[in-house]
Amino acid sequence: MSFSTPHPTHSADTGSKSPTQEQPESRSESGYESDEIDPKLLTKARARLEFLYAEVAETWPGFIARPGQYQMMHAALLTFLCAKAPEDENRQGNNLAQLEAGTGTGKTVAYCLAAIVASELLEKTVIVSTATVALQEQLFNKDLPQLAKVIPGLKFDILKGRGRYVCESRLEGAINDDAQENLPGDDFQDAFADSRGPTGGIPRGGPEPMRWFKKVAKKLHTGKWDGDIDSLERPPDPQDWRQVQANAHACNGGQCEFFKSCAFFKARRQAATANLQVANHALILATLKTDSTLIDAGNTLFVFDEAHHLPGIAADQFSHRARLGTTAKLLAALRTVALRHSRGLPASTRPDPVAFAQTIAECTDKLAIFEGYWTQSNLLSEDKPVHRFPKGQIPDALIPECEQLVAIVRSIGAVVKSVSAALTQPDESKSPSERDEQMRAGVELGVYISRLETLEQLFSAWATHDRVPWAKWMEFAHNQVAPPGSAGFAGTSMPDAWLCASPMTSAQLLSRGLWRQVSAAVCTSATLTACGSFDFFDRLSGLNRFPERRALVVASPFDYATQGELRIAAMMHSPKSPGFSDELCSILPDLLREHQHGQLALFTSRRQMQACHAALPTDLREQVQVQGERSRTELLKEHSRRVASGNRSIIFGLQSFGEGIDLPGRLCEHVLIDKLPFMPPNSPVDEALAEWLSTQGRDPFAEISVPRAAMKLAQWAGRGVRTVTDRAIITVCDTRLATMRYGQAILAGLPPFPVVRPPAC
């Protein structure tokens, strides 16, 4: 389990065990040495790096060299030069690094230059992975083109998931409406959708979808569209796109008639020529999980920017969920489709219709046991939407049912794979139109293979109880429409349930599936530490299993002592007190009136944000924009316009506005935070983790809640100072930051603003 005592962390700058100690001021400190790297290679690499850094400093518009940037660059270089070969089993972690670089450090230039130099010398590909589309686009459209001017041989491209591209074969099938007739569509997809809350909705009807299919097909065939969803003028309807998007299991590769013009494979072929590729965390993890050949991890140098998001994204990637009632109904539909499309196949490749029907029936009977379990036990309802199994243990009687379902679903999947493979094999005895129709039928059947695999993985997880259990739970779902002839009234809402399983943390899976596979990797962010330590990220990410990993904190170039101030508001009530909300509403106007230009008020709950907004005097309320009233882009544009006109402009936002927003200068002179961003462990996964830690005699609040809140608060406080000329006040309306012991630990991890405490504290 990831939450074990962490190994000592070696600082790349001093070799000490504390990465937060004072960093060396001289470039020649021993921290830049490594006995494990060939001295000639190291000398050559440093010379090349110094040359490129000087070129960037001379040609990059507005570039300012930073000491922290220089430190980070050399630490990253050492890490990359310790790259492992795929067959190298000696993986103690000197090829892994976690580098925290404060705002304004210029970490993009640092890690890019180090990676490019190592790539040149080691002849390895570089992948820079981000957590957000915004940074991915910034790298691809702004930073890398600028670097390419300095490094003429630099070739870069962007990696996107297969689902971002259209499948030309499926598009043709949608237009011709052949092979797809009677194939289950969105309902089957929704049965395995990895999302909460209502899914599906009113099916699209009428001529609109067909008009859209024909329109984009014409653009694709005339070269006016490259098949990438992101290059469309307007986003398509999700249901329309899902019907034609590329899918690994619905792909016939080189045998497809559209292979040469395929948007996905064209993008992949182009990206393969680049020595630096820009991707995202979800794509990297999904690719490695499926053993795809897209990424050769053992011969790739990775940079994970915004790496503090990596554990959470990994946990989502490794979780499984399926909708029970819908799955049972649609498996029956799949039986009909698979048998109908296999009729024209040779007898040797056709499934036995009786045996296959019996297998489907056996599967649906087993699923009915789970449906009966939750309905008869009254486990779920609209008033009780989630039931989590304590300690990850489902009832003993259900374990053999899960084990049998794994085998049954695997058997169904084998039949579907066989039929799909046979349909996608060229049959010269058929006419071209018949071959095309058969090919598309096989491709469409392939869509469901991945869904069946999800079902198999889900029940396998449910049947297993390891020493460190998975979180397992059920969720109430009530938006499935009853079909005509069913027990319910046609068109009415029928109750259903999601079955879910997830690792409590992704540490073990990241350790085995990522860190032990990569050639070398650098994790970086402005907030990798929490409460002044890497321990929290170490445990969540699984890096604590690699004792020789590098760790380095480089300071921001900002002079926080003169550029800002952190004020703890003088509040009579603690957030735990019933009077806190009313007091916050009453003091907020005065706190906001102290500042004349741009302000950002961040709230931990929508209810509190709405209450504070409603309580504002009319004049202040007119100066406030609330998250959700308009798009983020429009809101920020209006905010900039108001500030540029010399007016006060205030943004009220929730957690998502505490990260990734850049409001320099007068756009943000004041950041107000309602309270410490403690998130109660109310998700099934968080509850399971807290429960498990408690059974080990440990404190979930100290090990999870405090460092998580500290990391988040550091992000929020970092919205205030974005350039060397900014000045901002950070106001936290939570006296626990001054009065509680954990408050001091949280303060230790914040930017080093002077702290103004209330008189009573």
- Report whether 166 contacts 227 (CB < 8 A): yes
583 and 494, same domain (yes or no): no
The pLDDT value given to residue 186: 46
545 and 566, same domain (yes or no): no
- Domain with 628 in it: 560-756
Q: Which structure tokens are listed for 306?
A: 């915004």
Domain boundary residue, one of 487, 502, 517 = 502
Instruction: Tell me whether residue 20 is in a domain.
Output: no
In 197-296, where do the E strands start and end?
A: 276-280
Instruction: Tell me whether residue 677 is in a domain.
Output: yes
Average pLDDT, the chain: 86
Q: Is the pLDDT of residue 295 over 90?
A: no
678 and 738, same domain (yes or no): yes
- Report whether 459 contacts 402 (CB < 8 A): yes
Instruction: Tell me whether residue 2 is in a domain.
Output: no
374 and 284, same domain (yes or no): no
Number of domains in the chain: 3
Place 437 in a pLDDT band, splitting at 50, 70 and 90: confident
Instruction: Tell me whether residue 225 is in a domain.
Output: no
CA 529 to chain centre: 19
- Report whether 339 contacts 353 (CB < 8 A): yes
411 and 449, same domain (yes or no): yes
The predicted-structure confidence for 648-695, as pLDDT tens digits, reads as follows 999 999 998 998 788 999 999 999 999 999 987 778 999 999 999 999
The predicted-structure confidence for 471-524, as pLDDT tens digits, reads as follows 999 999 865 544 444 444 344 456 889 999 999 999 999 999 999 999 999 999
Question: Cα separation of 309 and 294, whole Å?
Answer: 23
401 and 292, same domain (yes or no): no
Query: What angle do helix axes 67-81 and 107-122 make, rounded to 10 degrees?
Result: 30
460 and 544, same domain (yes or no): no
Instruction: Tell me whether residue 236 is in a domain.
Output: no
Question: Cα separation of 755 and 567, whole Å?
Answer: 6
The predicted-structure confidence for 733-761, as pLDDT tens digits, reads as follows 999 999 999 999 999 999 999 999 988 66
Which helix (H) or strand (E) element contains residue 282? Answer: helix 281-289
Query: What angle do helix axes 67-81 and 39-59 make, rounded to 10 degrees?
Result: 140
Instruction: Tell me whether residue 95 is in a domain.
Output: yes
298 and 408, same domain (yes or no): no
Which range has highest mean pLDDT (99-103, 328-332, 432-436, 477-481)? 99-103
Q: Is the pLDDT of residue 181 over 60?
A: no
387 and 485, same domain (yes or no): yes
Q: Which structure tokens are listed for 307?
A: 């790496």
Strand 300-304 to 320-323 pairing: unpaired
Question: Cα separation of 258 and 681, whole Å?
Answer: 49
The pLDDT value given to residue 238: 87
Single-letter amino acid code for the residue at 712: K
Domain boundary residue, one of 554, 587, 616 = 554
The pLDDT value given to residue 36: 78
* Complete DSSP assignment for 46-82: HHHHHHHHHHHHHHSTT----HHHHHHHHHHHHHHHT
Place 242 in a pLDDT band, splitting at 50, 70 and 90: confident
- Report whether 180 contacts 213 (CB < 8 A): no
- Report whether 561 contacts 105 (CB < 8 A): no
The predicted-structure confidence for 34-89, as pLDDT tens digits, reads as follows 557 899 999 999 999 999 999 999 998 888 889 999 999 999 999 999 999 999 98
Q: Is the pLDDT of residue 538 over 50?
A: yes
Residue positions counted in the chain: 761
Nearest to 165 by CA among 253, 229, 213: 229
343 and 284, same domain (yes or no): no
Task: Specify burial of residue 165 (Cβ count, 10 A radius: 0-12, 13-18, 19+).
Answer: buried
643 and 745, same domain (yes or no): yes
Supply the CATH number for residue 70's domain.
3.40.50.300
Question: Cα separation of 297 and 314, whole Å?
Answer: 16
CB atoms within 10 A of CB 413: 18
- Report whether 479 contacts 690 (CB < 8 A): no
Q: Is the dihedral of CA 147, 148, 151, 156 positive or negative?
A: positive
362 and 493, same domain (yes or no): yes
The predicted-structure confidence for 335-368, as pLDDT tens digits, reads as follows 888 888 888 788 878 888 899 999 999 999 999 9
Question: Cα separation of 156 and 708, whole Å?
Answer: 35
Question: Cα separation of 242 and 171, whole Å?
Answer: 10
Single-letter amino acid code for the residue at 186: D
Instruction: Tell me whether residue 457 is in a domain.
Output: yes
The pLDDT value given to residue 23: 35
Q: Is the dihedral of CA 527, 531, 533, 535 positive or negative?
A: negative
CA 156 to chain centre: 22
The pLDDT value given to residue 338: 84
**CA-CA-CA-CA dihedral for 55, 57, 63, 64, to nearest 10:** 160
- Report whether 149 contacts 325 (CB < 8 A): no
Q: Is the pLDDT of residue 435 over 90?
A: no
Domain boundary residue, one of 518, 537, 554 = 554
- Report whether 426 contacts 255 (CB < 8 A): yes
Task: Specify burial of residue 718 (Cβ count, 10 A radius: 0-12, 13-18, 19+).
Answer: buried
Question: Cα separation of 311 and 709, whole Å?
Answer: 16
Instruction: Tell me whether residue 117 is in a domain.
Output: yes
